[in-house]
A and B are shown apart, each in its own frame.
Chain A
Amino acid sequence: MRAPALILAVTALLAAACAPADQATPTPTRVDGVACTKDKLATLTPGKITFGTDQPVYQPWFVDDDPTNGKGFESAVAYAVAEELGYAKTDVVWTRVPFNAAIQPGKKSYDADINEFSITDERRQAVDFSAPYYDVDQVLITLKSSKAASVKTLAEVKKVKIGAQVGTTSFEAAKRLSPEQDVAVYNTNDDAKAALRAGQIDALVVDLPTAFYITSAELDDGQIVGQVPGGDGRPEQFGIVLDKGSPLTGCVSNAVESLRSKGTLAKLEQEWLSSAGNAPELK
């Protein structure tokens, strides 16, 4: 066992030595026998890391629908993860991947996809998830003029017509409220907002940071009703999506964990999601 160990140590040293000087020292970690450094990672383009995300992308996760500016929580996390793996800012490439394309079984056009993907056991059958980078709460929002504005309890919520975006855990949360009328399902939160303005739904479930952005910046008389109770007691978490069985998963997870222990994640949350305080919980 000594010879392979020696080889590994030497390659790790070489990897460290090869890294450009103008960046943070790469962590010479290895996960599942893979060295987590730029020149050893089997990315699509050697020496570059390709992140995928949808188009359009929204505040506060991205700013100005431009993932490359490093602004917005998820863009910042992506660049932090890349740096942790030894990539310079210029080594990060972005590609636009619609939801369905991100999870199809064929060849992927990205190394890692960051797009508010909630981690579930069921979804793990189809893709790999990194360690979670954000714990998310689901909240109900409405217009001040709507009858949902005065709702305080879970029993009152059942009388309200609720909408949500398809394919989101917000939709699952809306169903958990078991409203009397079917949950209306929209392609995007933009469509759902149109339906809210038109009075076709009384309230809309979105995640907390999105809720703060929508109610403060997008709707003139928007209001947060309250927090939707969680499903099975476990917090809902966002993870970076990677191809099923991707050799990068361990390293990306490792990078996320390292960012958490260094306090970088908390700092980025503070910077981009700081307005996301707490919403009263519906009981």
Chain B
Amino acid sequence: MLSPAEIEKRLLRLLPRVEKPARYVGGELNQVVKPWARIPLRVALAFPDIYEIGMPNLGLAALYELVNQQPEMLAERVYVPWPDMQALMRADELPLFSLETRHALRDFDLVGISLPYESIYTNVLSLLALGGIPLLANARTDEDPLVLAGGHATFNPEPMADFIDAFVIGDGEEALLDVAHCLLEAKRNGAGRAQRLRALAAIDGVYVPALYDVSYHADGRVAAVDPREDGVPQQIHKRVVAVLPPPLTRPLVPNLDTVHNRVAVEIMRGCTRGCRFCHAGMVTRPVRERSVEAIVEAIDAALEATGFGEVGLLSLSSSDYSQALELVRTVAARFGSRRINISLPSLRIESFSVELMQALAGNSRRGGFTLAPEAASERMRAIINKPVATSQLLETAREIFSRGWHTIKLYFMIGHPEETLADVEAIAALCQAVLAEGRRVLGSRAKVHAGISTFVPKPHTPFQWVPCDSLEQITAKQLLLRQRLRERAIKLSWSDPHETMLEAWLARGDRRLGAVVLAAWQAGASFDAWREHFRFDLWQQAFAAAGLAPEFYTHRPRPLEERLPWEHIDAGVSQRFLREDRAWSAAQRLRDDCRERCSACGILPTFKALRAAHPGPGWKCPEVGGGAAATAAAAGAAAAGEPA
């Protein structure tokens, strides 16, 4: 095993030979280096992509600060080396190491991997292999680190279950520390791997796949996912932090240009809108807000500690933050004069959003104004539960152009099985109508960017039973848009349908997909999220080698009574609610924002005790349990819920 000094020596020889060597040296401002030998529990926090992508990840940054605040723990960072560096490391037998102290990945007690989306799964295997950790969880020994994964993609953990010892489902802030404390105790007691896994499975929100057996019907559908022993929960309930912890105030400042070089503050977690396609909106319930005061203080401290020139106020739906106007006014007054660029993404399509941006931006009009109508026909809007009238969109567009923005970016989604070519035509017509509004105000300077993503029916959403469009259908829809939107003032971008297929297989797969991920990686698949590296053929071959049909996962409507591969994971939103919402979608029936009317999605009863223990204004579900009236209102809403 190589010592940090030996690793450093080998690294120095490789650095002049690779592209962007700063990816591999660490040493940035605000990096935390704790004395390795004196810290009993060592955690590596890994992002399965390169430094520039992983470094700005807000979740890992928060966990880094949190773990390093614990006197008995340290956290260090690991990213995936770019292929040029990977090749040199293999040739030189240089193991993947942490940026802070150059310890090999396998020298850590716990390796925590962020899994926000599916197209980085093969990179997890690269991380493990380069780090000297056996790929398969069941091949690891007492000497190997415990491999933990968390993030939105883990709400269906099954495709990665072969490689991960334990998953944290839901909010990670408290759960990661629980896991770390559990391992610390196990280390002190000399507990072996099997004992550690059992202890971890007892932690709320932690899923240890090795303790479950999956059985299948003859046709390949999942029959059951059963705990192997007593004391292992049948259902894993996601973790929720009742109160969002204070935002981080000493973010690292990268020496390289990363995808975001900014102070990012999560102003709110969760979303009350209930768009039926939105995985994040379903799995991050309930809505919890930070106070304006806490946000402004955190920005102030972070700007001083970093010198960043940009602030991002992040959430799933910023205009829904209950103190939105107060927040942007305070932030603009406090930081606007310092040449700090403040961004507020994820705005709703209404004039209030323009007001917010106006208050934030002052006289500066950098970049475009982004809106996400997702659908362009009333019918599709009712199906996906994102009701934005065309007249309202055009009015908002008019206001945006007349207030000085030259470009409006519109995000749409194609590929829902209910969607017809007429619905797709409507997208083109809407883009043209928005451009026409701009031309009326700005003439030929007005521009529209249309970003067309492709729908993937995600687990734990009301669409989890519906199939994906076929490659041919998606291609035909994209072609139609390309033919209809030929103006130079309209820029069109779309996602590669093959990449969408990969996302869909992995999002909707069962445990047998582990063999497919492994075979694809062994054949050379990695960096699948990078267009120039993505190899669809390798995945097709991997499916064939595993004896599985990809269409089984993507192009088959699943009956409501089918046991879904992720049903043992409880996101807090009940199957009953999802079934009802699926039926409402079929009936093109809208559902209200849950701040206005509780739809009894299941969150409140699941986390009743937690909320009672942490009362306060941060949690935005209506109050129930306290008064009979509130409960009755909630129940009534669930039963009646009329279209808006």
| Chains A and B are bound partners | no
- B-binding residues in A (CB < 8 A): none
- A-binding residues in B (CB < 8 A): none
